[in-house]
Homo-oligomer: A and B are copies of this chain.
Amino acid sequence: MREVQLQILYAEDKMTQSMTDSWQITVSKKRKQVLNNIPTEWILDSKTIARLKSDKTGLSHNIDQLCSLKENAITHSTLLELQEGIRNNSLSCFEVTSAFCHRAALIHQVVNCLSEIMFTEALEHSKILDQNKYEYSTLPPLYGIPISLKDQCNVEGVDTTLGYLSRAFKPKKKEDESLIVSFLRDLGAIIYVKTTVPPSMMATETTSNTFGYTYNSFNQHFSAGGSSGGEGSLIGCYGSVLGLGTDIGGSIRIPASYHGIFGFKPSTGKVPYLKVDNSWEGREIITSVIGPLARNIDDLRYFMSLIVNNCKPWIHDVKCMPYQFSSFEDSKLPDGLKVGIWYGDGVVNLPSGDMRALSKCKEIIQNNQKFNASIVRWEPPTDLCEEIFNLAMEADLADGGTEINNEFKMTGEPLLDILRPVVPNDSPKPYTVNEWWNLCKRVSDAKQKFRDFHNNLPVEVRPDVVICPSTLMPYRPGDMLETTLRYILFANLLNLPSLSFPADAMIVDDNHSMPDIINGPEDAMVQKMWNDLVLSGDIEGFPSGLQIISPLSDNDDLVLRFGSWLTKLLQES
């Protein structure tokens, strides 16, 4: 049964056809290890899997049919509702945990989003929490709430692979546990799954030799995005109420955008990265940050306030700084907020989906005068946008693929095409330290130029927050190299807080059209892909994700407060 199921799950993955090399044997073992942690009663038969895979846009609804009413009530709740349910004893921790484990198991069998399954430990933990519940006068804030983790967070007893086969079967010890995982445990959360990533996380499509391909659970025609693709797919289908991703080049925001959920990339030093495994450790020029993905904006804000205000990471993690988030219940905005709208950088024009979504946001804000928010057009200079993008790309190529190549060589697993942008075929020589310092200097200079641009704007058109493009459109499995990260890397290189949020749903018969002018090959590529997608009809109803950024770092709280306010307006509209 399990063998059959394994073959079904990975059927589209050609490597499983003849797993005879030593690395393939390890892959096979690892995949079995994952599946063996699913209880037999939750294993789907091949017919059901085939049916769920073929109904590309109906997965969540189809999985609802396989779960009990109570399970669906739980998994469709917000974190804050679950907390309330556990506190008022209408829900047990075990019921909550079991519902999410069950649903995660089902989702995984269709879209392949889990890299570690810890159901046994999680259910055991939930029982203990139920037993101990009456010892508390106030329950810890995440008491009995299951939280999912990207496969970078270290958890005792399981691997952290980063998508590399070389790191499989090296379970972490207690002392390796990530600080954020300790925080989650202290807050009462239950750890039940880790989710898939591409090797090194330096790709925005989630696939690996070790775990295979992760599909988009909202619409299986498309990629889940990445690198926190497993998280996006799991949360997008109600298999987790909130999970942790990381973002060095869109890895939180892209999967969030592609699943119609919220993803927050904080600025550096807010959420502790201590003992979270990573690629390119010590490369501080563009810093990977850890942040939440969630279906609900209040959940996300509540989680940020817990991790930052309650846990005070700056005491423990030398890279964190004191910060304070406002309460999720505080939906007030500063009076007279100026909201920038970014209609494109002059290099890659926006598809009609984005133009439509931006217009919608603009209208809604203009029609709501509660806080006297005003709209301004925001246009950072094209040459500066180009410089920022080029510097980010140069930084990603600085070691000529050395580190990633070395990890692949350890086991002999073949390099994946999605990594070609950071591991080029011609393997350029790694930068010398002097070349690297020069690049770091140019990055600092670009950040300063951006600050100067901001400061030099007349105060009446200098925005506090900016609504801007994000992923532009979904892409089909294998098409990652046809996408642009232009509007994504911008916030990484400049270390700007960014909330990825669902602004609209795409429609095929869109009246808005792409501009006539094609700026260059990248613009042409994007326009072609958009036109093909519209033609296919597959994007109908797909979420139009945008970002809210602040032009100043450390305005994380403002970005979330504005995001919360705008989301409520969008939901009411």
> Interface with B: A35-43, A313-321, A380-388, A556-564, which one?
A313-321
A318-B447, A398-B433, A436-B436 are known; give 16 further A-B pairs, CB within 8 A. A280-B437, A282-B437, A282-B442, A282-B443, A282-B444, A315-B455, A317-B448, A317-B451, A318-B448, A321-B321, A322-B554, A399-B434, A402-B432, A403-B434, A433-B435, A433-B436
A448-B274 in contact given A433-B433, A434-B430 (Cβ < 8 Å): yes
A430 to chain B, nearest CB (A): 4
Q: Answer yes or no: A460 CB below 8 A from chain B CBs.
A: no
CB <8 Å contact, A444 and B318 = yes
A301 to chain B, nearest CB (A): 22
CB <8 Å contact, A437 and B283 = yes
A14-52 contact mask (Cβ, 8 Å, vs B): 1 or 0: 000000000000000000000000000000000000000
Q: Answer yes or no: A363 CB below 8 A from chain B CBs.
A: no
A344-357 contact mask (Cβ, 8 Å, vs B): 1 or 0: 00000000000000
Q: Answer yes or no: A431 CB below 8 A from chain B CBs.
A: yes
CB <8 Å contact, B317 and A436 = no
Residues 262-288 of A at the B interface (beta carbon under 8 Å): 274, 280-284
Chain B positions within 8 Å of A433 at CB level? 283, 398-399, 430-433, 435-436
Q: Answer yes or no: A529 CB below 8 A from chain B CBs.
A: no
CB <8 Å contact, B455 and A319 = no
Among A317, A434, A450, A455, max chain B CB count under 10 A is at A434
Q: Answer yes or no: A440 CB below 8 A from chain B CBs.
A: yes
A501-530 contact mask (Cβ, 8 Å, vs B): 1 or 0: 000000000000000000000000000000
Q: Answer yes or no: A438 CB below 8 A from chain B CBs.
A: yes
Chain B residue nearest to A278 (CB atoms) is: B441
Chain B positions within 8 Å of A284 at CB level? 284, 440
Which A residues are within 8 Å of any B CB, using their own CB?
Answer: 274, 280-284, 315-319, 321-322, 398-399, 402-403, 430-444, 447-448, 450-451, 455, 554
A345 to chain B, nearest CB (A): 20
Taken together as a complex, chains A and B put the C-alpha atoms of A298 and B44 apart, in Å, by 75
Partner of A440, one of B283, B321, B554: B283
Among A282, A322, A431, max chain B CB count under 10 A is at A282
Chain B positions within 8 Å of A322 at CB level? 554
Taken together as a complex, chains A and B put the C-alpha atoms of A376 and B311 apart, in Å, by 28
Chain B residue nearest to A436 (CB atoms) is: B433
Chain B positions within 8 Å of A281 at CB level? 437, 441
Chain B positions within 8 Å of A430 at CB level? 432-434
Taken together as a complex, chains A and B put the C-alpha atoms of A455 and B442 apart, in Å, by 37
Taken together as a complex, chains A and B put the C-alpha atoms of A443 and B437 apart, in Å, by 17
Chain B residue nearest to A280 (CB atoms) is: B437
Partner of A441, one of B282, B317, B435, B451: B282
Taken together as a complex, chains A and B put the C-alpha atoms of A447 and B284 apart, in Å, by 15
Among A432, A440, A451, max chain B CB count under 10 A is at A432
A283 to chain B, nearest CB (A): 5
Taken together as a complex, chains A and B put the C-alpha atoms of A431 and B434 apart, in Å, by 8
Chain B positions within 8 Å of A431 at CB level? 432-433
A245 to chain B, nearest CB (A): 22
Taken together as a complex, chains A and B put the C-alpha atoms of A284 and B451 apart, in Å, by 19
Taken together as a complex, chains A and B put the C-alpha atoms of A374 and B321 apart, in Å, by 28
Q: Report, nearest first, the 6 A-B pairs whose CB atoms are least far apart.
A: A282-B440, A282-B441, A282-B437, A431-B433, A318-B451, A430-B432
A12 to chain B, nearest CB (A): 35
Taken together as a complex, chains A and B put the C-alpha atoms of A402 and B318 apart, in Å, by 31
Chain B residue nearest to A495 (CB atoms) is: B318
Chain B positions within 8 Å of A448 at CB level? 274, 317-318
Chain B positions within 8 Å of A283 at CB level? 433, 437, 440
